Structure 1
Amino acid sequence: MSGMVALLTLGEVLGVAGTPVGTPLRTATTLRLSTAGAEATVAIGVRRLGLTSAWVGTVGADEIGTRVLRDLRAESVGTSCARRVADVPTGFLLRDHRTPDFTSVSYYRRGLAGSRLGAADVRAAFAAVEAVDMLHVTGITPALSESCHEAVLAAVRIAAERGVTVSFDVNYRSTLTSRATARSVAAELLGQVDILFAGDDELDLLTDETDPRAAAASLLARGPSEVVVKRGAAGAIAVTRGSEPHEVAGHRVVATDVIGAGDSFVAGYLAARHRGADLATRLAWGTTCAACTVGTTGDWAGLPDLDEIERRALPEVTFR
């Protein structure tokens, strides 16, 4: 990994086996194999939209680890700073995809390869690139292990020293950590990030405000220069310093698989921002990417390329 990277991200990528839509796991006879990880979805999404991206993480020296790296490389995401560990396998999850809008998930990840990420991996990644425009982290990674927590803190600190824009998505996962711990981690990071993403069901982890517009405005006073509230089918709200909150509606789409929509939104938003788009267009690209994911199977398979998003996103694309 060398030269300029538009987006650097770090975290865990898991192997996935999922049932066909409408098929309970207990009676399924076939499973669809793929890979999934919040940060990897963002890296793939911005890459499809014409930006360079790289992922830092740890996988096992097993076939699932090979599949993870193959999928990322096939999408032209840089993986030269990924590390393979020999003594534990890559994490895995089973998706019981009973209906398009309901999926239950069983994780097999605790203590496995993804939890081995550490601050040294982050330092090596930053040393390997000449310049990074954006760093994207989520609340998932600090919950995996103490070394992963340290890796996120190190990444944010190095990014601040280099003048790199830091994006943070709360991405709360109840299977990994308590709301109290997630609130503590978010508070630890809030004053160090430039762009904050949160779902409207995560706002209580950040503020006492319950109205999404009021919450977004109040969070600007705590460090971020840009706050985005993801509202699922209802769309999204974003506000920057010195501006009024801007809101867009979600796209009408027949749901096939809702998992990965939030990370797809982040990919579209960050890609548009990097390209100099105005706030309305950033939100339009985000909601379009989310709709493309919801309408297809898998976390990232349906993410659009640049030509498709320019055809589908509204309002018309405007760059500075």
Structure 2
Amino acid sequence: MEIVTFGESMVLFNPDTTGPLRYVHNFNKSIAGAESNVAIALARLGHHVGWFSKIGDDEFGRYIKAIIRGEGVDVSRVVTDPHNNTGLLFKERFAHVNPNVYYYRKNSAASNMVIKDLDFDYIKSSKILHVTGITLALSPSARETVFKAVEFAKANNVLVSFDPNIRLKLWRIEEARPTLLEMAKLADIIFPGQDEGRLLLGTEDPKEIAREFLDMGCKIVAVKLGKEGCYLAKQEEDEFVTGYIVEKPEDTVGAGDGFAAGFLSGVLQNFSLRGCGQLANAVGAMATLVRGDMEGFPTLQQVQRFMGTEEYIDR
């Protein structure tokens, strides 16, 4: 196993039309979840990746598991909870702006994750463990489970990748900040955005964000700058990597997860810091070309064509 990740995935209902949900009658069903997004994106890039969670003993849980398994991700450690339901998510769309998001995940199966749900041998078998701040926000037991998994990974020479992924609909920043910073101190690779730098560190300057996290002990900091690209830093190396322009993005949700997956793919392939950033930028940009949280993640051949490293013959 190259990468293992875990966290809540929900069934996503995407409206067919724009406007307030009270006027919407038809929805497309798919899945949403930061960690499963990363897992799916990595699998499409050709990596051996595992995702686990706790799902309800219901049709929504079975649907999530089937979709992720169908994308080539190992789901053998997913736990089924007979007492709690799978979480749901509805989007509300208005023209040319990011959608509103409505969660129905309180007391969901995934929010009831506990340490005994972890398979430590499974984590130990991987090269990288990827976690996000979303799972930390779900509940005290989920938070305890993430910290236990990360501490075990570090004790067994598994790299820890961390995306803060602040969700203020799940917890207040006063609660989130100390927890996320505590996790950052354990991370080897961290993926903050500028807004997260402001919320956690009081600065949106990419260089200052990177320096703060490096001083905490992170080995690599990849600051996401949206369409501008990214700023990457190690202790002895740093640089800005220009992004890819998407003239008419269809949906920006999932771009950050695609970025993380592209970067981790580069790490697994021993790319240079710049090479990791270029691949991350490309996968993140391609995620915005398609409506949906994970539908736009490219295969390796598709991203190579997008980057211009492989010739494309369309007919």
The alignment's TM-score, normalised by the length of structure 1, stands at 0.92
CA deviations 1:116-159 (Å, max 9, x no partner) are: 2111122x2x3246621000000000110111001110110111
- Output the CA distance in 2 between the equivalents of 1:63 and 1:26: 25
Q: Does 1:245 align with 2:239?
A: yes
CA deviations 1:156-181 (Å, max 9, x no partner) are: 01111110110000100010011111
Instruction: State the match for 1:69 in structure 2.
Output: 65
Answer whether contact 2:226 2:243 (CA < 8 A) is retained: no
The counterpart of 1:121, out of the listed 117, 121, 124, is 117
Instruction: State the match for 1:188 in structure 2.
Output: 182
AA at the equivalent of 1:53: V
- Output the CA distance in 2 between the equivalents of 1:156 and 1:274: 19
Q: CA deviation at 1:251?
A: 2.5
Q: Does 1:229 align with 2:223?
A: yes
The counterpart of 2:77, out of the listed 55, 75, 81, is 81
- Output the CA distance in 1 between the equivalents of 2:95 and 2:217: 40
The counterpart of 2:158, out of the listed 139, 164, 181, is 164
Instruction: State the match for 2:313 in structure 1.
Output: none
Deviates more, 1:47-56 or 1:20-29: 20-29
* Number of positions where the alignment pairs a residue of Structure 1 with one of Structure 2: 310
Instruction: State the match for 1:284 in structure 2.
Output: 278
AA at the equivalent of 1:257: D
- Output the CA distance in 2 between the equivalents of 1:128 and 1:269: 22
Q: Does 1:293 align with 2:290?
A: no
Q: Does 1:6 align with 2:12?
A: no
Answer whether contact 1:236 1:287 (CA < 8 A) is retained: yes
The counterpart of 2:102, out of the listed 83, 106, 121, is 106
Q: CA deviation at 1:218?
A: 2.8
AA at the equivalent of 1:98: F
AA at the equivalent of 2:106: R
- Output the CA distance in 2 between the equivalents of 1:213 and 1:250: 21
- Output the CA distance in 1 between the equivalents of 2:122 and 2:277: 32
Q: CA deviation at 1:20?
A: 2.6
- Output the CA distance in 1 between the equivalents of 2:294 and 2:96: 16
AA at the equivalent of 1:162: N
The alignment's TM-score, normalised by the length of structure 2, stands at 0.94
Q: CA deviation at 1:25?
A: 2.4
AA at the equivalent of 2:251: D
AA at the equivalent of 2:292: G
CA RMSD of aligned residues (A): 1.6
Gaps of 5+ in 2: 311-315
Q: CA deviation at 1:99?
A: 2.4
The counterpart of 1:220, out of the listed 181, 190, 214, is 214
Instruction: State the match for 1:204 in structure 2.
Output: 198
AA at the equivalent of 2:207: R
- Output the CA distance in 1 between the equivalents of 2:189 and 2:124: 22
CA deviations 1:200-224 (Å, max 9, x no partner) are: 0010343244311222123211110
Answer whether contact 2:241 2:278 (CA < 8 A) is retained: no
AA at the equivalent of 1:293: A
Instruction: State the match for 1:93 in structure 2.
Output: 89
Instruction: State the match for 1:255 in structure 2.
Output: 249
SS across alignment from 1:33: strand
Answer whether contact 1:207 1:219 (CA < 8 A) is retained: no
Answer whether contact 1:169 1:196 (CA < 8 A) is retained: yes
Answer whether contact 1:21 1:100 (CA < 8 A) is retained: no
Q: CA deviation at 1:114?
A: 1.3
AA at the equivalent of 1:116: N
SS across alignment from 2:192: strand
Gaps of 5+ in 1: none
Calculate percent identity across the aligned residue pairs: 32
Deviates more, 1:257-266 or 1:24-33: 24-33
Q: CA deviation at 1:100?
A: 4.3
- Output the CA distance in 1 between the equivalents of 2:176 and 2:68: 28
